[in-house]
Amino acid sequence: MDFMNTFRLALRALARNKMRSALTMLGIVIGVGAVIAVVSIGQGAQYIVQQGIQAMGTNAVFIAAGSNRAGGVRQGYGGVKTLTVDDMNAILAEIPLIKQAAPALTSRQQVVYGDQNWNTAITGTTPNYFDIRTWPVQAGSVFSNEEVDLAANVCVIGTTVARILFGTDDPIGKTMRIGNLPFRVDGVLESKGQNVNGQDQDDVIFAPYTTVQRKISGITWLQFIAASAVSQEASVAAVAPITSLLRERHRIRAGSDDDFMIRTQADIADLQNQTQSTMTMLLGGIASVSLVVGGIGIMNIMLVSVTERTREIGVRMAVGATEKDVRMQFLVEAVTLSMMGGAIGIILGLIGSMLIANLLQWPTLISGKAVVAAVIFSTLVGVIFGYYPAHKAAQLDPIEALRYE
């Protein structure tokens, strides 16, 4: 018996018990639909996380001071005094993989404008920093390299600071106070929203690093260097040369720990991949549970169907159906059930995720992979759970089957 025939036969058998077939499919429909919807919500969330990581600057390499062991006591990042602007210049000069770098050091200060005040982090850096982090201003401009050289009292503020201190006033050109010093506001940065950890990235003030070193913090070293490599691969490749260069410059003996810490975009991507695979496994778990439940439903109904149609099986065998013919007939029926369930589930899942996207304003991203996986899984469920009933049908003795009441 050819396949088309078997398939047509299966459709007709299923159509004979429409209600039963529909209810049996429901298990698979719900399983597949839920997976599709949940995966698209998950993918939507991941997309946002990815955007956030992109926002940290592509090809970025962060070198943080710290992790120096002094008599067994480790100091936190930024806690050591060895990372300097000279280090940064050496990296730029000697490692061609790095095309840009900016120094950074941060100090928390009370800031005041008019009758408003606020406590926030002042980061000292150079104009390059905004390129590396792909962070333009939305109004005004970034302070210049000359102003860095002069250690001028100028700053660029984030939108949160602008809102809190200036309210509806235009901050550009106004003078605010950071600590005890007056600073002129040159620009307001574009909003970056929350970062991956949920921190407000717009609650920031940037000033020339020279100004922060000399006038605010009173230090000569840096807390970290933000650099950017020529490409994403280069950012990973640059880690080793930067490490050896800094170890040499800091005169760290072989066997001693680094007094700095390098993180690249790739590290962050790795972390994200880990989260992603955990998520995928979780969803896979939910999916397989619901699909197994649906599969048991199919098996149950197919067993009932085989019993009900014992006489039919007997007749088919008497007129020449082989065991294989009978097995195929019931297997195709089970797979048709599960695949139809899968197809309806996919459609409902897609509709569901669109509804969620529209009604709840959650970002969703429909995943082609999830759809393909749903098709494969629902087919597999049909084969696995349909096999036993089909085998049982094929093993019937035609004489017994013909006599069955």
Partner 1 sequence: MMNMAEQILPAAEMERTGGKGEPVIRLENVYKTYDLGEIQVQALRGVSLEVMAGEFVAVMGPSGSGKSTVMNILGCLDRPTKGRYFLDGVDVSGMSKDELARIRNKKLGFVFQQFNLLSRTSALENVELPTVYAGIKPEERTRRAMESLRRVGLADRAGHHPSQLSGGQQQRVAIARGLVNQPAILLADEPTGNLDSRTSIEIMEILQTLNEEQGLTIVLVTHEPDIAQFTKRNLEFRDGKLKRDRLVEERLNAREVLKAMPTAEEEAAEDAGAAGGAGTGAG
The DSSP annotation for 347-394 comes to HHHHHHHHHHHHHT-------HHHHHHHHHHHHHHHHHHHHHHHHHHH
Please, which residue, 52 or 314, has the CB nearer to partner 1?
314
Please, which residue, 158 or 314, has the CB nearer to partner 1?
314
Please, which residue, 282 or 399, has the CB nearer to partner 1?
399
Shortest distance in whole angstroms from residue 6 CB to partner 1 = 10
Interaction site with partner 1 (CB under 8 A): 1-2, 5, 16, 311-312, 314-325, 398-399, 402
Please, which residue, 267 or 325, has the CB nearer to partner 1?
325
Distance CA 300, CA 280 (A): 30
Distances (CA, A) of 183 to 152, 187, 190: 8, 12, 20
Residues 357 and 363: beta-carbon distance below 8 Å = yes
Query: Reduced to 3 states, what is the DSSP secondary structure of residue 154?
Result: strand
Shortest distance in whole angstroms from residue 308 CB to partner 1 = 11
Shortest distance in whole angstroms from residue 17 CB to partner 1 = 11
Query: DSSP class of residue 143?
Result: P
Please, which residue, 13 or 216, has the CB nearer to partner 1?
13
Q: Which residues pair with 139 in a beta bridge?
A: 188
Shortest distance in whole angstroms from residue 326 CB to partner 1 = 10
Please, which residue, 18 or 253, has the CB nearer to partner 1?
18
Shortest distance in whole angstroms from residue 11 CB to partner 1 = 13
Distance CA 229, CA 235 (A): 5
Distances (CA, A) of 349 to 32, 344, 374: 7, 8, 11
